[in-house]
A and B are shown apart, each in its own frame.
Chain A
Amino acid sequence: MPRLIDLVRIAGRRLVVPLLGYPGAQLTCSSLKQNEFNPVLHCESICRLVDRFSPDAAFFMMDLSVEAGALGLPVRYPLYESPTVEEHPVRSLADLEAFKVLDPLDDALVQARIRAMELMKERLDVPRGGYVIGPFTLAGLLMGASELAMATITDPDLVHGVVGFCTDVCVRYARALAAAGADMIAILEPTATFLSPQAFDTFCGAYIRGLITEVTGNPGMTGAAPAGDVAGGTDATGGRAGAGARTATGTTDAADKADAAGVRNGSESAGIERTTGATGSASRANAPDIAGPRRADAMTPMMILHICGDTSHLVRNMCATGAHGLSLDSPVDFARAAREADPEVVLIGNVDPVGVMVQETPDGVRRAVRALLDMMEPYENFILSTGCDLPYETPFENIDAFMKEGRL
């Protein structure tokens, strides 16, 4: 299985991967809402970003509502802002039952995302990244974040039940993204930022670990023996999600279907050379030769854990989830994080997406990038990125400055 650290080593230089997504809508003169609903447009926006800025990997647009929407929660889609979930109705394990009959993969917007990833696979020759919400954050959308926070103390069984159920949903979607061609999947877990390290391990980390094991068939960077090649579709039972913690059951059928899909797509894509877009665009002469390990095992994505906000107190715990990379936000001191993190886990970040990337001048961006690169000079396990997704309105001259300084 390819690991992110291998990709970093093979590159032989700093990889530069700002979390671009939304600004791509500027290049296709479209609204964010259009990109949510139209996978061809979504892929086009991302391909144009790759053409314009030549990042070393390309993620699609960040979205924390797609999984909750697929479960039936009401979602609002503003034209130029990210969609948001408007109601959080779950109060008991009984309330969860209503959600278990749904297969999230049947949802039109989930399908649109999967399709966007398939198209990105056809057109991009840099590693492609997708996002899946983290189980704790999805639980926060189901229950309300404050309710969930309190329940970690007052009703741990409820939290385990809901987060376990959410893990199954996340596994199912992540596998589908992997089958569609995602080389990397970043798990977005912002709501975990306010947990103590101990509560993180119990209510979030254990489930992330299960998710990673289920999607990659391997407990990841810091795990024990691999649990079998789940992603290749040969082992559907290799440990339930959230191994070591209690999980909800009830989506087994769904998971089996996902495996079947994995097998089908897997055999179709195995050995097929990646094509670039019709224009031959979206390819780069100086792309690091990182395609090798991926082709050998194209179905197993590299797993990244992203938490926004100040996660300084959680770095070690995040490493213990088995994630190949941690994408950390601008409040985190990266040198300190590097001292604490497992050196085989890649730290990804952390230029301020708003304070610097939107509000600074290109010179300011250059200074911030330089300071970060200098500070991270002693550490191999580092990818230059932004602390979080860049807003739609990020000035292009600032992204140019970021890329240029990052490649100096």
Chain B
Amino acid sequence: MFDFAEMKAALEHGKAAQVKEFAEKALAEGVGAEEILNEGLIAAMAVVGEKFKKNEVYVPEVLVAARAMYAGLDVLRPLLAKSGVKKAGKLVIGTVKGDLHDIGKNLVKMMFEGAGYEVVDLGTDVSPAKFVDAVRSERPDFLGMSALLTTTMPSMKSTIEALKDAGLRNHVKVLVGGAPVTSKYASEIGADGYAPDASSAVDVAKELVKGK
């Protein structure tokens, strides 16, 4: 039996090279890629997310842990693709037009990846048209928008309107967040979900497609 404890500790401490080695070692010992993903990477990232929520670790620690997670994912990805392991879902995410704050958005992205989702990151300053194009071409389960400025929040609404105009609104669940965004605002603009922080965002997404 492969002991995941050390691998998880390495990920929590952001040791990318070690996580990669542990992933390779586990594979060599015959552990399945999906098990390594779930027991080694996803489980450890969830712990990091919880600690972040409780202020036990800060943004740099989370970013570095996520980077270590990617190092592990890189090892597993070809095998996961080959074995046809189903992704938890697909998210297209970006920071809205006029807004260049990307740290929160990056954390949300990493938490989703850490939870086994496929993520397409459109970056910052993303116009409604660009979100719509990505929804059309990527066919994601979720569209995530982040806004940190009160002045850029209305762009979330414009994007939702643009999705409607393009006939794509019912094809995707819209998730919104960012410091000035509230759950009240989210429902006012017709978003499907709101999350106050990155790890709850994953929970909200899961909740939205429950029973589907």
Contacts and interface: CB of A to CB of B under 8 A. Distances in A.
Contacts of A195: 58-60
B64 A153 contact: yes
B106 interface: yes
Interface string B9-33: 0000010000000000000000000
Nearest to B56: A196
A195 B63 CA distance: 12
Contacts of A354: 150, 180
B137 interface: no
Contact of B100 (A84, A149, A313, A355): A84
Interface in A324-368: 354-355, 358
Interface in A138-175: 145-146, 149-150, 152-154
Contacts of A196: 57-58, 60-61
B89 interface: no
Contacts of B170: none
A98 B211 CA distance: 57
A313 B98 CA distance: 30
A20 to B, nearest CB: 18
Contacts of B158: none
A146 B98 contact: no
A196 B58 CA distance: 6
Interface residues of A, number: 22
Interface residues of B, number: 19
B10 to A, nearest CB: 14
Interface string B42-69: 0000000000000101111101100100
A194 interface: yes
A150 B107 CA distance: 12
A23 B20 CA distance: 53
Contact of B59 (A84, A149, A313, A358): A149
A153 B151 contact: no
Contacts of A309: 179
A85 B100 CA distance: 9
Nearest to B179: A309
Interface in A182-196: 194-196
Given A84-B100, A145-B102, A153 B58 contact: no
A288 interface: no
Contacts of A81: 98, 151
A154 B71 CA distance: 14
A239 interface: no
A149 B59 CA distance: 7
A146 B58 contact: no
Contacts of B58: 194-196, 199
Contacts of A78: 98
Instruction: Count chain B CB atoms within 10 A of each CB in A81, A146, A153, A391 and give the residue with the most.
Output: A146
A150 B67 CA distance: 9
Given A81-B98, A150-B67, A354-B150, A145 B103 contact: yes
A152 B57 CA distance: 14
A316 to B, nearest CB: 15
A368 to B, nearest CB: 17
A391 B151 CA distance: 9
Contacts of A149: 59-60, 63, 103
Contacts of A152: 60
A233 B162 CA distance: 59
Contacts of B14: 153-154
Interface string B129-140: 000000000000
Interface in B140-156: 150-151
A153 B59 contact: no
Contacts of B150: 354, 358, 391
Nearest to A196: B58
Nearest to A151: B60
Contacts of B64: 150, 153-154
Instruction: Count chain A CB atoms within 10 A of each CB in B60, B151, B179 and give the residue with the most.
Output: B60
Nearest to B105: A146
A194 B60 contact: yes
Interface string B97-127: 0101011001000000000000000000000
Contacts of B106: 146
A170 B115 CA distance: 42
Contacts of B63: 146, 149-150
A394 B125 CA distance: 24
B180 A153 contact: no
Interface string A77-91: 010010011100000
Given A146-B102, A153-B60, A199-B60, A313 B55 contact: yes
A74 to B, nearest CB: 12
Interface in A266-310: 309
Contact of A153 (B55, B61, B100, B103): B61
Given A86-B100, A309-B179, A391-B151, 19 more contacts: A84-B100, A145-B102, A145-B103, A146-B106, A149-B59, A149-B63, A149-B103, A153-B14, A153-B61, A153-B64, A154-B14, A194-B59, A195-B58, A195-B60, A196-B58, A196-B60, A196-B61, A199-B58, A358-B150
Nearest first, the 5 closest Cβ-Cβ pairs linking A and B are A194-B59, A149-B60, A196-B58, A354-B150, A153-B64
Interface of B: 14, 55, 57-61, 63-64, 67, 98, 100, 102-103, 106, 150-151, 179-180
5 contacts: A153-B61, A194-B59, A195-B58, A195-B60, A313-B55
